[in-house]
Each structure stands twice: as C-alpha cells, then as structure tokens.
Amino acid sequence: DVLRAMEEICVESSGWATKGSEVQLCLARREHVKDIMAFIRALAAFEQMSDQVKTSEEYLLNVGFGDRPRFYCFLAYSGSAPAGFALLHAAFSTWRGEYLFLEDLYVHEEHRKSGIGKMLLRAAIELSARLRCARLDWQALDWNQPALTFYQHKIGAEQMREWIYHRLSAESMAAFLEAEQIRD
C-alpha cells in the first residue's frame, strides 16, 4: 500500500541527516493542501512560469485525497515552517512496468543546500524501491544547472538526452480533434 509505505518512510526519515536544522518529513494530507498549493506556486515562480498554474486547492483536494489519489506528496518542515515538497504519481512503461514520476521537487530558497532536497529525493527513491517500481523518472529545466549537477553527480541519475518530451495542451488537443472531424 502506497500510503503505508510513505508513512513508514516519514518515520524512518527522522534519522536522515540534514545540515543544521531539524527537519520533519510527513505524508501530505487534506489539511496540507494550502502548503502544497503554495509550493506549486513557488516552484512555478522559480521556473518563471507563474502564469501556467491552473490548478486550485479545491482541485488538489478532489484528485489527491479521495478513494483513488492521482498523486502522492511528501512535505518537509523545518520546525513549523514549510521547507520543501516532492509530488509523485504512478506511471507505466510497456517495456518495464510500473514506475513513479516525480512531478515536482522544490525547496524554498532559504532552505537550499541544507540537505532537504536530498531528503525529499531519497524519500521518492525509497518509495519507488518499496513499491518495486522499475524506475523513478523526473525532468528538470535545461537552465537549472544546480539541479542538473545535483541529480547527476550526487544522486547518480542518468540524463535521457535521446528522448524528446512532447506535449499537447487542452487547446491543441481540441484544435486537432476539430480539424480531424472536418476531414472525416
């Protein structure tokens, strides 16, 4: 069970080292949705994409905390202050089977280089291993050199240069489908 594994990881994380601050890792629950939304907005601002955030607290409550959660989230607190988060969801590979996708990993600037990012990533890796996932995937912006260096040199992640990520927005999907109906 995913949530039970996440709870166990949160308990075990109390022994994981961070630099100079007491950090508590917890499994996000309904009452944390304001913090999750704040992290999403902070990450979007950091990535210079604030205008792209269309989700809301209500939406997160509906899709993340029902009978079939669409995402799972670890939160890190330094004292009582929110310090960082890692948001994951299940994915599937026809070649390898089930895996987790780390959608967002973010640590507030004042808590960076304290070990919190590594703690959150370790929790995601630990969860993937406990669930017997084939892999853990994530992406980073090409200009975020500190993150890229961290992932490759401190974690040992492989950069997948041969795969090119594609996306269709809701508007692009609608335009494509409309054009296809005209042709039919």
The answer to whether position 163 is within a domain reads: no
Burial tier of 84 (Cβ tally within 10 Å: 0-12, 13-18, 19+): buried
Number of domains in the chain: 1
**Per-residue confidence band for 180, with pLDDT thresholds at 50, 70 and 90:** confident
Instruction: Quick: pLDDT tens for 137-147.
Output: 999 999 999 99
The answer to whether position 70 is within a domain reads: yes
The answer to whether position 175 is within a domain reads: no
* Nearest Cα to Cα of residue 105 among 55, 144, 70: 144
Instruction: Quick: pLDDT tens for 98-125.
Output: 999 999 999 999 999 899 999 999 999 9
The answer to whether position 150 is within a domain reads: no
Beta bridge mates, 26: 75
The boundaries of the domain holding residue 43 are 2-138
The answer to whether position 53 is within a domain reads: yes
The answer to whether position 149 is within a domain reads: no
pTM, to two decimals: 0.91
Q: Catalytic positions, please?
A: 151
Instruction: Quick: pLDDT tens for 51-91.
Output: 999 999 999 999 999 999 999 999 999 988 999 999 999 99
CB atoms within 10 A of CB 61: 14
The b/e string for 157-173 (b: 16+ C-beta within 10 A; e otherwise) is beeeeeeeeeeeeeeee
* CATH at 117: 3.40.630.30
Instruction: Quick: pLDDT tens for 24-34.
Output: 999 999 999 99
